[in-house]
Structure 1
Amino acid sequence: MTISVGDKLPDVTLVKPTENGPEKIQSGEFFAGRKVALFSVPGAFTPTCSARHLPGYVEKADELKAKGVDEIACTAVNDAFVLGAWQGANDASDVTMLADGNGDFAQAVGLTMDGSGFGMGQRGQRYSMIVDDGVVKELNVEQPGDFSVSSAEHMLGQL
C-alpha cells in the first residue's frame, strides 16, 4: 500500500554518509520533531536526478528553510558511499543524504519502481514529500518519466 497524506512514516533503517563513514539512523528518529522536505530519486548520478532534481533543492535550500523547513533530505536506493560522492560532486551540503541501499524505505512507503529495463533493478520512484514530525503533510509522486511535481519549486508552492 502506498503511503498517503496524513500517514506516519514507517520506521526503517537508513544510512547517512558522514565524514566518519556510513552512519545508521532510524527513519522514525530522523523525522521526529521537525519539518523535513524529503525527495526521492531513482538513482544518484542519473541524468534527470543530477541535472535537475538535486540542483533544484540545492538552489532553493534557503527559500525552503525560510518557509519553515528544518532539513532537506534526499533518499535513493543507492549505498551511502555513492550518495556521499554524489553529494560532494554537486556541492549539496545543504541536503542530507539518506541511503536506502536495500530499498527497505521505498518498499515500506509503497513507492518502488522496476528499473531492470535500464539495468537498475528495483528502485524508489521519483517523488517528494513534506514530513512534519514523522507525518506526511504533502506527497508528490511523479508519473514515470516525468519531473515536475517533485521539484523544489513545486514544494515551495506547498509551504
Structure 2
Amino acid sequence: MIEKGQPLPSATLSELTSEGMQSHQVGELFADKKVVLFAVPGAFTPTCSEAHLPGYVVLADELKAKGVDLVACVSVNDAFVMKAWGEAQNAGDIAMLADGDASFTKALGLEMDTAGFGGVRSQRYAMVIEKGVVTDVFVEAPKSFEVSKAEYVLANL
C-alpha cells in the first residue's frame, strides 16, 4: 500500500468533460499542485452518494482556502458513470476521475475484491498529494467511514 512520502505511481485516469474524453497521466495531472484525492468503492452507491462525495462538494471552497489546488474523486468506474454521478451530485468543483481498469488503484495497493457486488473496486480512502508525492493518506477500515471524510481531511491539512 502506498505510504506517506512516496510518489504516486504512473497510471492513466479518464475524465469526461465538456471538451470530451480526457486521458490524464497521473504524474502530469498532480504535478506542481496540492491535491486532495479521495476514492470511493462505487459511484451511485449509498455511503458514497449520501455522505462521501457530498462532504467534499460542501467543503471544496474551504479545502481550496487551505491551499488545495485540486479536489478529485476517483473510482473504479467508467468516465461516463463518473460524469453522470458528478452532475447528479452538483460536484462541478471536483474532478471526477475514472480508473476503469483499476490499474491506478492496484498500483496504489488499495484495491479490494467485492466479488459478485462489483468485482475489483477501490478501498475507501483520501490522500493529500503535493507535487506528485503523498503527504498524508487516510485509508478506511472495512465498512468504516471516518478518516476519508472531507471534514477529517480538512481538519488535518
- 2:145: which partner in 1? 147
TM-score normalised to structure 1 length: 0.97
CA distance in 2, matches of 1:144, 1:15: 27
- Aligned twin of 1:35: 34
Determine the C-alpha separation between the residues in 1 that align with 2:115 and 2:49.
Answer: 20
- Residues 3-152 of structure 1 mapped to structure 2, 5 A cutoff: 3-118=2-117, 120-152=118-150
Structure 1 vs Structure 2: percent identity of aligned residues?
56
Structure-2 separation of matches of 1:48 and 1:116: 19
Runs of 5+ consecutive residues of structure 2 not aligned to the other structure:
none
One-letter amino acid of the counterpart of residue 154, structure 2:
L
Note the C-alpha offset of 1:143.
0.6
The Cα offsets for residues 108-149 of structure 1, whole Å up to 9 and x where unpaired, read as: 00000111142x000011000000000000100001110010
The Cα of 1:21 is off from its aligned counterpart by 2.5
- The separation in 2 between residues aligned to 1:122 and 1:9, in whole angstroms, is 20
CA distance in 2, matches of 1:139, 1:129: 4
What is the RMSD computed on CA atoms of the aligned residues?
A: 0.7
SS at match of 1:22: strand
Rounded to whole Å, the distance in 1 between the matches of 2:48 and 2:37 is 14
State the Cα distance separating 1:98 from its structure 2 match: 1.0
SS of corresponding position for 2:68: coil
What secondary structure does 1:60 align onto?
A: helix
Stretches of 4+ moved more than 4 A in 1?
none
Structure-2-length-normalised TM-score: 0.98
Q: Is the contact made by 1:22 and 1:81 (CA closer than 8 Å) also made in structure 2?
A: no
Q: Which runs of 5+ in 1 are unaligned?
A: none
Asked whether the 8 Å contact 1:77–1:99 carries over to 2, the reply is yes
Q: Which amino acid aligns with 2:50?
A: A
- In the aligned structure 2, how far is the partner of 1:13 from the partner of 1:35? 19
- Match for 1:141: what amino acid? V
Deviation at 1:20, TM superposition (A): 3.1
